[in-house]
């Protein structure tokens, strides 16, 4: 009963007229939208309305949350939901936004059980306990440079998709059980290839940070898929196909249909 009521509420939210001033925010801040057809644009706007209604945005270190902040982040995140049945990042409750890079305390265990503490500078984080943390200046940078292969919102929300089953392992919930074997085969091979290329000091299309672990590889590959789809399709066709099947999208079409210069 609860799930039915939640979906009924979401249906009503998606059906509401989309405020024009929100659309005016999305157009310059989410360049991918330029290539969407009208049906997909309406679907994305509906997802934005649901996310803004269900998720709590909170400014940190004196940062003030505005409609521009909320709509920009929600619209980028909504690209990961197009064409798919979605629970709207069900584990996510709060989105914390800092004005710029933030400091995180890292604890490292050393020999003999000793523990040392160090400061780490972060641009974004995704916590399994229901929180995404973002640096706003990095979100703005992602909006200005939509074809550089980096997008902190896509990265952190891809982690949320990965964590929906409670485990951050680079294997999000797939639509059919028989797809997992192919997913593991392709993603594992590409992950191993990235590590080999880095060991041999080869230039890579996929961000070297993806070699950290399988979860980071999925998040980084998601950025590459949406940001530089033509290059990924040429250089990593199997990986591109796996992500295309998962996201039910072909971002190369957004470039072809976009009336603007994608590389600007």
User: Which residues lie closer than 8 Å to 205 by C-beta, 6 or more apart?
Assistant: 149, 224, 228, 231, 232, 235, 236
Looking at residue 178, what is its pLDDT?
85
What's the residue count for the chain? 264
What is the per-residue pLDDT for 129?
81
* Residue 102 pLDDT: 66
Quote the pLDDT of residue 5. Answer: 87
Residues 262, 244: contact at Cβ < 8 Å? Answer: no
- Report pTM: 0.90
69 vs 187: CA distance, rounded Å: 33
Q: What is the CA radius of gyration of the chain?
A: 19
Output the pLDDT for position 264: 43
In whole angstroms, what is the distance from residue 101 CA to residue 135 CA?
5
Q: How far apart (Å, rounded) are the C-alpha atoms in residues 105 and 49?
A: 34
Could you tell me the fold of the domain covering 2-105+116-257? Answer: Collagenase (Catalytic Domain) (3.40.390)
Phi–psi pair at 118, nearest 5 degrees: -140, 160
| Ranges under pLDDT 50 in the chain | 1, 106-108, 110, 114-119, 261-264
Looking from the CA of 82 toward its CB, the CA atoms found within 13 Å total 26
Q: Which burial class, exposed, middle or buried, applies to 7 when counting CB atoms under 10 A from its CB (0-12, 13-18, 19+)?
A: exposed
CB atoms within 10 A of CB 59: 15
**CB neighbours (10 Å) of residue 114?**
8
**Res 146: pLDDT:** 78
């Amino acid at each position: 009963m609860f799930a039915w009521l939640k979906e009924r509420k979401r249906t009503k939210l998606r059906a509401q007229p989309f405020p024009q001033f929100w659309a005016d925010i999305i157009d310059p801040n989410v360049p991918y939208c330029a290539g969407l057809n009208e049906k997909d644009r309406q679907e994305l706007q509906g997802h934005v309305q649901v996310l803004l209604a269900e998720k709590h945005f909170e400014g940190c270190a004196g940062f003030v949350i505005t409609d521009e902040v909320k709509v920009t982040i929600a619209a980028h995140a909504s690209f990961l939901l197009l064409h798919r049945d979605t629970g709207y990042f069900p584990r996510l409750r709060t989105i914390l936004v800092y004005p710029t890079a933030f400091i995180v305390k890292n604890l490292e265990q050393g020999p003999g059980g000793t523990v040392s503490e160090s400061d780490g500078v972060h641009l974004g984080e995704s916590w399994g306990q229901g929180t995404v943390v973002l640096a706003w200046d990095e979100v703005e940078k992602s909006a200005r440079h939509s074809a550089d292969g980096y997008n902190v919102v896509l990265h952190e929300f891809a982690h949320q998709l990965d964590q929906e089953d409670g485990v951050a392992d680079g294997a999000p919930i797939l639509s059919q059980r028989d797809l997992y074997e192919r997913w593991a085969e392709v993603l594992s091979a590409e992950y191993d290839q990235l590590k080999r290329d880095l060991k041999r000091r080869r230039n890579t299309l996929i961000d070297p940070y993806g070699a950290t672990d399988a979860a980071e590889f999925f998040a980084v590959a998601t950025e590459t898929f949406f940001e530089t789809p033509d290059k990924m399709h040429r250089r990593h066709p199997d990986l591109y196909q796996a992500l295309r099947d998962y996201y039910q999208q072909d971002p190369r079409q957004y470039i072809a249909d976009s009336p603007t210069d994608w590389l600007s």
